[in-house]
Amino acid sequence: MSRKAIYPGTFDPFTNGHLDVLERALNIFEHVDVVLAENSQKQTLFTVDERLEMIREVVRDIPNVNVDVLHDGLLADYARQMGANAIVRGVRQVKDFEYEFQMSLLNRHLYPEVTTVFLMPNVKYTYVASTIIREVAMLGGDVSKFVHPFVLDKLSQKRAERRAH
Ligand code: PNS
């Protein structure tokens, strides 16, 4: 039986911390689907298409990775449809835990065959969250150590667009 995991998130944008978690997941699972979940309640800086383009570019040369989007519906149903037995989530700090714990148990309730696996990124990424990257980048700070050059370009373009308005 092939071990397949899904790695869901909002990825606004995909950071080097996300990439680190993905690479760790690929050491455990034969195949990983990165799943961009469209959350209508969340205000995002980048559109779904922009976020997908960035993820696809970052993972372009990594084998056994697929990038997909979950437009609506439950992640647990998606995992069932894809035959995934694991959901990968990156955790950085203790404060991530409560929300992750709830989601993990709810997903297991909805789809008992799925197990959530928590992976810790390299310590150098423990303070790298998309929220803070977005904020620093939109204020003109240097985030080149924390995102892929393609993502860095998209952040600069977004800043320029916003300043033009
Ligand atoms: O990167 P995020 O914003 O922390 O990811 C949250 C995400 C996308 C994993 C979560 O919102 C999710 O699973 N959304 C899909 C809809 C769903 O199944 N919600 C119930 C989760 S128990």
CA–centroid distance for 67 within its chain: 10
**Cα-based distances in Å from 12 to 82, 86, 89, 110:** 24, 23, 15, 26
- What lines the ligand 1 site, CB under 6 Å? 8-10, 37, 39, 70, 74-75, 103, 106-107
What is the Å distance from ligand 1's center to 34 Cα? 13
CB 146 within 8 A of CB 13: no
Answer yes or no: is pLDDT of 158 > 90. yes
Q: What is the pLDDT of residue 41?
A: 79
Chain segment 10-59, per-residue pLDDT in tens: 999 999 999 999 999 999 999 999 999 997 778 999 999 999 999 999 99
Q: Indicate the top mutation candidate among 38, 43, 88, 103 to test ligand 1's pocket, ranked by most ligand atoms within 8 A of CB.
A: 103
Chain segment 75-107, per-residue pLDDT in tens: 999 999 999 999 999 998 888 899 999 999 999
Q: What is the pLDDT of residue 1?
A: 59
Beta-carbon contacts of 87 under 8 Å, excluding residues fewer than 6 positions away, are 5, 6, 7, 8, 75, 79, 104, 107, 114, 115, 116, 117
159, part of any domain: no
92, part of any domain: yes
Domain extent, residue 65, equals: 4-127
60 is catalytic: no
Beta-carbon contacts of 147 under 8 Å, excluding residues fewer than 6 positions away, are 13, 14, 15, 16, 133, 155
Domain count, the chain: 1
Bond prior to 121 in cis (omega within 30° of 0): no
153, part of any domain: no
Six-digit token pair at 139? 């204020």
56, part of any domain: yes
CATH number at residue 13: 3.40.50.620
